[in-house]
Structure 1
């Protein structure tokens, strides 16, 4: 029986600062999350000169009972983090589309490897750490290591003179030369 994930709405806070690059006027970075946030679409939270923080979007944080090993790895990090995945959004007035928030460092690695999206690690608030820890304690099952057995095939035997059976010939072109035997 497949269990449904536990889902929590997570607001994503993105900070816009002046860029140090001459090719882009602004730099955007996900800086925090708001557990249980309502819907938002780049709502201004705070302004301080040129620095603006937006509640960019609210996405569901889904916790799956099959991913508890990954959540444990994330919780054991020096700074437990939520991975926020964003993609350039050229079609709207906003610079990024918020795609996903995840507590799984394995899923973060998959998005980091693709190189198509921007991945930011945001520190988890203490309440979120407690929620994920409780979820893991309830659902985690240690996977028993099962060593596979080798088959009984002998790999040390020499198969000299074997070649492609489809080719008929007097000698075998795939024959390995033996040491000490004249050619």
Structure 2
């Protein structure tokens, strides 16, 4: 599903930061856009920065369920510092909190949490109902083999005495 990303530019609160950029909304089914101005209120401006595909995968339904069960279900927008005259490059929009965490862990991207519209919640929930399969927990069983009885690699193989395998061999015990 095409998903429009709305970015807000607001004045900074300190003299070191001129502007603050924040993802504030998503527009399901949006047309293509490239930093199209949507609204202006004084120095605060909202842009339809980009339209990205929101892709859902059968193997990630557990992550989508986790995201939908949050107090406020969200879409995660991944952004990088801009290139080609843009303030930000919008990299990805995902419904998976696990994937968003992976991007946040790198520290190279900015990850913003944007509330999910009701229609998008329903669309993702329908997808999960069709494709989700609970994984059966299989407890791993130990091998019955006793590996603790062998003493391979312990001590010096040149010593024939069992009593102290850690002592150094004497000159008459050395094997040539």
Q: TM-score, normalised by structure 2?
A: 0.86
Q: Which has the higher helix share?
A: 2
> Deviations along 1:42-89, whole A, 9 cap, x unmatched?
000000001000000000100001110100000001110000000001
SS of residue matched to 1:130: helix
Contact map agreement 1:10 1:36 (CA 8 A) in 2: yes
RMSD: 2.3
Is 2:38 the counterpart of 1:45? yes
Please point out which of 104, 120, 140 is paired with 2:112: 120
Structure 1 residue 153, shift from structure 2 partner:
3.4
Aligned residues: 165
Please point out which of 122, 125, 131 is paired with 2:123: 131
User: Unmatched 5+ residue regions in structure 1?
Assistant: 1-7, 176-183
Structure whose alpha-carbon radius of gyration is higher = 2
Q: TM-score, normalised by structure 1?
A: 0.83
Is 2:92 the counterpart of 1:100? yes
What is the aligned partner in structure 1 of residue 56 from structure 2?
A: 63
Structure 1 range deviating more: 153-162 or 19-28: 153-162
CA–CA distance in structure 2, aligned partners of residues 127 and 15 of structure 1: 22
User: Unmatched 5+ residue regions in structure 2?
Assistant: 169-176
Superposed, 1:1-183 pairs within 5 Å as: 8-89=1-82, 91-154=83-146, 159=151, 162-163=154-155, 168=158, 172-173=165-166
**Residues 37 and 161 (structure 1 numbering): CA distance in 2 closer, same or farther, change over 3 Å?**
closer
CA–CA distance in structure 2, aligned partners of residues 24 and 164 of structure 1: 67
SS of residue matched to 1:44: strand
Structure 1 residue 154, shift from structure 2 partner:
3.4
Structure 1 range deviating more: 129-138 or 144-153: 144-153
